[in-house]
Structure 1
């Protein structure tokens, strides 16, 4: 009996309250939707990803790059958004095909091991480094809230935001996170897109010829360092690539496909859920590309047109 089949058998014998949600159970198998409309009703992991992507990094980095070089680096923004989902799709496909998460898959790689594979250790180091970025996000949002409500100090806002984040993460399951992500993505994308549309109506800040020139691959001179940083953090970053398979498991894509079997039925069902995942990735790609491009247009049009490159506290103000 295959390991996954043994896991299914053990899971079926356990009480519902004690079952591991990451175990694949025979009764969880679901046929994939046959239509695009049905697939769109099953998306979700990509929306959570988009909600985590479109944040302070895009708001600060892309607008700064636009302020420095104008529309000349637009192609970098688009390339950064379009190139990374290829890896994202492969990680998700692996999870659907095997039922394993991304880190479990990377743990099978050859190479040095200290209880786990060296890639897993590299991931742990990367996560520790990103804690600095998360701290900066809390601080930035706290400064904005302090400008709105000056009576409450920045440190108090930081503590409040940390408690709120913990309450959201610990107080509910995947469905709650997905619903919150949907709301955030919808509002954020709509507001940034409308702001960019307003720039289109200002000829002193926008022209189609300048926008089209930005699609021509050319390395900006003054803002090259910022451009490299923007390419790294925009779109699906390394952290999001590792997390996406977990969201796919939580959504149920792997469970719906069932444990891996060399049968035509399993191959058909798994391929169907992989197609649903592709729709999910494509939907999130459109959303965060629109939002990120809108941020860049605001920086390239308004800030560059005014000759202003914000830095430090000017970012908040």
Structure 2
């Protein structure tokens, strides 16, 4: 990679953040947003079935997601364009696909993640019905994002990440993990019948549409220009190292507590079942630790999209609407931003009472299965294009990693769609 110009070096010295906490934030938020109940279940099931054999898969998945996250940040800092503007340059069908997917995703995801938060909260405080807890979480997220500035949102998310990290890692330590077995799990092995578990762990470590929000959070943080790329990379690394440790802790809990017992967990209800089992074995404090970690993971997966996805939708509207394309109005001040935040919060509540419309869920599943391949392929094209300065384009290592990512996510997309139909 080429050197940084003298002008950029001066800019970096002037604006260089001091202290660890000032150099992290957006990456931590992005990584935490992508770790939800689905990732907890995947790691628990793998640990219960195969012990710590798949330590390597979790680490590899975190490395892949770091490459994706870093690429989104690098594109914006090196070109000055958002990812939506990059997609639009590839053709209208690209932004069109995202526009359709974002509306359907917002409607379905809003209900799904509020339900996940409610499940954990009701297990701790069964004083309200399930639907009431779901609505409370949605509305709280709505007003926190609508009325709060990014700096406040970042502080709230950082606290939640800390709680989530301490509680789940603490629970793993209580189970007295076998360190030798964990180190043995660093050697790649795929036992018979475990391929789908492996691919799910690699593909699911912090993977979500919210990852695309990273560029907008960088802008809110005040990071702009090529001189910030080293700090962005550090930020992304911290986020995905913590993600890997978090998911590895969940794998350890499954391995140390469930491996060989024949107990099978499935769905988010399985996390509640596990909390009860942990409480019976290690005491009520451990049960509460795990439930708080489950709730924190779910609530970060609500707040992150509540703040980040409206940026994407507002940028989509501005990018595809000629009269607003050159507008300098902050995205969070636009009607499109507030509309999407409203969509995530209120219309999705219908699903809490009316059940899940089959046709909508199928469409969401089809578009969702195709999103990660879509993201990887478009990033691969953009960061190898002449629109990037030569020193910031992909090198052989990045291209090799992305080739593996493309193959992985295309296969996962195929298996997910095959399972649906």
Which of the five TM-score ranges fits, normalised by the shorter chain? 0.7 to 0.9
Select which of 217, 220, 229 maps to 1:247.
217
Select which of 51, 63, 68 maps to 1:70.
51
Aligned-residue offset at 1:122? 3.2
Q: How does 1:78-89 map to 2 (within 5 A)?
A: 78-89=59-70
Q: Could you tell me whether the CA contact under 8 Å between 2:23 and 2:234 is conserved in 1? A: no
Change over 3 Å in CA distance of 1:30–1:250 after alignment to 2? farther
1: CA distance between counterparts of 2:99 and 2:32? 22
2: CA distance between counterparts of 1:35 and 1:97? 17
2: CA distance between counterparts of 1:220 and 1:125? 39
- 1:226 maps to what in 2? 197
Q: Could you tell me whether the CA contact under 8 Å between 1:40 and 1:279 is conserved in 2? A: no
Change over 3 Å in CA distance of 1:35–1:249 after alignment to 2? closer
Change over 3 Å in CA distance of 1:62–1:303 after alignment to 2? same
- 1:120 maps to what in 2? 95
Q: How does 1:153-164 map to 2 (within 5 A)?
A: 153-164=129-140
Q: Could you tell me whether the CA contact under 8 Å between 2:31 and 2:211 is conserved in 1? A: no
Aligned-residue offset at 1:52? 0.8
Select which of 105, 108, 117 maps to 1:141.
117
Aligned-residue offset at 1:210? 2.5
2: CA distance between counterparts of 1:185 and 1:251? 18
Larger Rg: 1 or 2? 1
Select which of 100, 120, 132 maps to 2:81.
100
- 1:307 maps to what in 2? 262
Return the structure number with greater helix share. 2
Of structures 1 and 2, the one scoring higher in RCO (CA 8 A, sep 6+) is 1
Q: Could you tell me whether the CA contact under 8 Å between 1:50 and 1:185 is conserved in 2? A: no
1:168 aligns with 2:139: no
TM norm structure 2: 0.57
**Larger deviation, residues 83-92 vs 242-251:** 83-92
Q: Give the aligned CA root-mean-square deviation in angstroms.
A: 2.5
TM norm structure 1: 0.74
Aligned-residue offset at 1:157? 1.1
1: CA distance between counterparts of 2:106 and 2:49? 25
Between the two proteins, the alignment pairs up a number of residues equal to 262
Aligned-residue offset at 1:276? 1.1
